[in-house]
Structures are given as structure tokens and as C-alpha cells.
Structure 1
Amino acid sequence: MFGHGPGRGHGHGASGGNPQVTLSWIPARGGQIPNGAIQVGHGVFVARAQHAGELIPGKASMGHQAAYVSYGGQEHAVSDYEILCDTHMQCFGCNYTWERCHGRSVPRGALIGGYSADRQPYYIGRSQINGEMVAGKVFEPHGCAYFPWGGQEHRSNEFEILVLKQ
């Protein structure tokens, strides 16, 4: 359905520096939230879905039957989606963090979560919209992030971006 292209995370093992896949996109539908889902706020998780020829990072929330992405000024519900999950083995620990981001400079190690119709990368961001922490897409050429909330696409210049630890 989506594959595991942009957005695969890699950490390093405790011995020998062998890469370990620690973040995985898990297919889901109809409100499913897999074990290990990356949480951005209370009951809100990192998701991505295909819409209008793009693979767009967004959110999935407990109690909802879809994931939500922002596109063209609107929030769109998508019933087939993927959830970003932490699948690390306990001995390797967590290999990601959220970093504050401003303007057009995406930090080194930022995780690509999808792509635009012309194949430019979307990074995974989070921000508070109307009192709720949500996930969405960071588009570097615009120097901002876009978040689905309340039926609309919300643009924000203040957000955090998901980054793999170096």
C-alpha cells in the first residue's frame, strides 16, 4: 500500500555500530492505533496517509475512525493510513527526539515522513493548535508547518520537528 520508503529511522546498536531499525510505519485503518505508536499529545499519534498524489504526515487520535492530514487549506479524514511506531529493542533505547524549529532551516537528522506531489520531502512536526498537541507536515521551502485540526489546515511558524539522535 504505502511501502517503507521515506521516513525509515535507523539507530545504532550497542556493539559494533550496526544499524538497527527503530521506527517503523505500521499500516492501520478505521481508528486502529498499533502498539508502540509515537504519541505527540494525549491520545494523539503520528500518522501519514496518501491524499491527492502526496504522502502526508498528520495525526491519528484515539476514538476516531480515521487519520487526518492537511491539504489545500482543509483537514482531510483518511480511513487507510500508517502509524509511526517505535519498534526498538529495549537494550538499544530511544533514538529520536523532538527539536524546536524556526524558519526554513530543518535540523540535521530530521525524519522525512512523506512527500509532496513533486516529490519534495515533508518532515514530521508537532505543535499545539487550540490547546491540543497535534502532528502534521513540515515543508522546508515554506519555512513553516501545517497541521490538521477542526476541519481546517493550520499554518504555524512555531513547532517541533521529529529528529533522529546522532
Structure 2
Amino acid sequence: MLSSPRTSAGVTNLLLHFSLLIYPRHFIIAVSPVLLKTVPRKKFDGRLHWLPIIDGELPSEAMIGGFQNEPIYIARAEHIHSVNPGKFVPSAGRAFIPWGGREHSKSRFEILCGYNAMWVKTRNNQIPHNAFIGGSEVMNRPVYISRAKVNGNLICGKAFAHHAYLPYKGKEIKIDSYEILVLPDDEIPQALPFCDK
């Protein structure tokens, strides 16, 4: 036999009333004395920019540059009157840059942030016109950001003087065929970074 909607509703109301008698509930309704304001969102257009790590905190918009047992990030640091791109390894809390056949550890460095760029395959000194300038050498020549595979790891470093140079296991590894970071063609021209001498 089918029950009418009125009977179902009556039973539901009776069960609700019965459950409130067995399990009494008290509700307090109040207006909050705190006035909430809309928090402005951080405007972020994706352009590449450098930020320092403050109190060991990686910037939220940091660009991942590769992988070496964990994600590694693109970093740059001053070394012998130059600004050199390299890698930041979060578990070490330090940046590592290639220079003079060795990998140099740095505690003061900047992290590349943003996302408006892409990696392009190249070889030797074939630098695209829109390659992102990541640093400068002693003679104030531009240094670019590169990456390549080394023993199954994707390592980021610098492209300069016909090759890519990558910091890896204490050494500076020279690579002929690599990827280079480039900007979209509509980006504004770049300036070389300033190095305190």
C-alpha cells in the first residue's frame, strides 16, 4: 500500500520531534563583532624576476629548473666579479653554481620566479635572440640559463662561450647539446645584472 505525502510528512515531523526530545540541541545565533574585509589578491603576470630566499622560505612562484633526487630551482649568485646562474637544492638549503671546472656552494643567492618562458633545444653557441639573460661574466658578457640531462638528472646551469656549464657532484660539467630558457618575443629587452665589485 502506498502512503500519501501527508502521512509521510507527518511521520517525518513526528520522528524529528521525537529525536529532539531524546537528543536536545541548543543553538546560539550571534553576529560576529569582527568585520571581514576582502583581501586583495597578489597580482602576478608571470614575467620572470629574481627574488632572494628569506628565512629559508622558497618563493611561492619559484620556477622549477630540473630534478636531482628532488625538484631543483634556478638560482643565481655572485662569484669572482660575475653573476652566475646555477641550481638551488632545497634539501641542502644552498645554491650551486658552475665556475672554473668546479661546483661552488653559495649561501647568498636569488631564485628565478615566474612562468612566462619556455625551454628550447640548442647546441654550442647557437643562442636564440630571445634567450633570457640570467647573469654576466667578468667582462660583462651575458650568461644565459641552460639545462641538460646528466646521469638521469635534469640539471640547470649557465650557457656561455659555446657550451652549457652545469654544477654537478662537485664539478662543472661542459655540455654541447642543451636546452636554453627563452622569453616570448613580445617581452621587453633585458638589462645585464649588476655585480658589486
Larger % of helix: which?
Answer: 2
Paired with 2:141 and 2:72, the residues of 1 have a C-alpha distance of 26
Bigger relative contact order, structure 1 or 2 (CA pairs below 8 A, ≥6 apart) = 1
- Report the RMSD for the aligned CA atoms in angstroms: 1.6
For 1:131, give the aligned amino acid. Answer: G
**Aligned-pair identity (%):** 36
Task: Report the Cα offset of residue 32 of structure 1.
Answer: 4.0
After superposition, the C-alpha distances for 1:70-105 in whole angstroms (9 at most, x for unaligned) are: 11100000001000001xxxxxxx531100011212
- Residue in structure 2 matching 1:153, options 164, 172, 192: 172
- Residue in structure 1 matching 2:137, options 116, 119, 125: 116
Pairing 1:22–2:47 present: yes
Contact 1:31 1:64 in 2 (8 A): no
**Any gaps of 5 or more consecutive residues in structure 2?**
1-44, 186-197
Task: Report the Cα offset of residue 160 of structure 1.
Answer: 0.3
Contact 1:31 1:66 in 2 (8 A): no
Q: Which of the two has higher C-alpha Rg?
A: 2
Match of 2:94 in 1: 66
Task: Report the Cα offset of residue 21 of structure 1.
Answer: 6.9
**Where do residues 4-23 of structure 1 align in structure 2 (5 Å cutoff)?**
22-23=47-48
- The aligned length equals 138
User: Which sits farther off after the overlay, 30-39 or 53-62?
Assistant: 30-39
Paired with 1:30 and 1:158, the residues of 2 have a C-alpha distance of 37
Contact 1:29 1:66 in 2 (8 A): no
Larger % of strand: which?
Answer: 1
Q: Secondary structure at the match of 1:52?
A: coil
**Where do residues 116-135 of structure 1 align in structure 2 (5 Å cutoff)?**
116-135=137-156
Contact 2:143 2:158 in 1 (8 A): yes
Q: Structure 1 residues 32, 148: CA separation in 2 closer, same or farther (over 3 Å shift)?
A: farther
TM-score computed with the length of structure 1 as normaliser: 0.78
User: Which sits farther off after the overlay, 34-43 or 44-53?
Assistant: 34-43
**Any gaps of 5 or more consecutive residues in structure 1?**
1-19, 87-93
Q: Structure 1 residues 33, 70: CA separation in 2 closer, same or farther (over 3 Å shift)?
A: same
The 4+ residue runs of structure 1 with deviation greater than 6 A are none
TM-score computed with the length of structure 2 as normaliser: 0.66
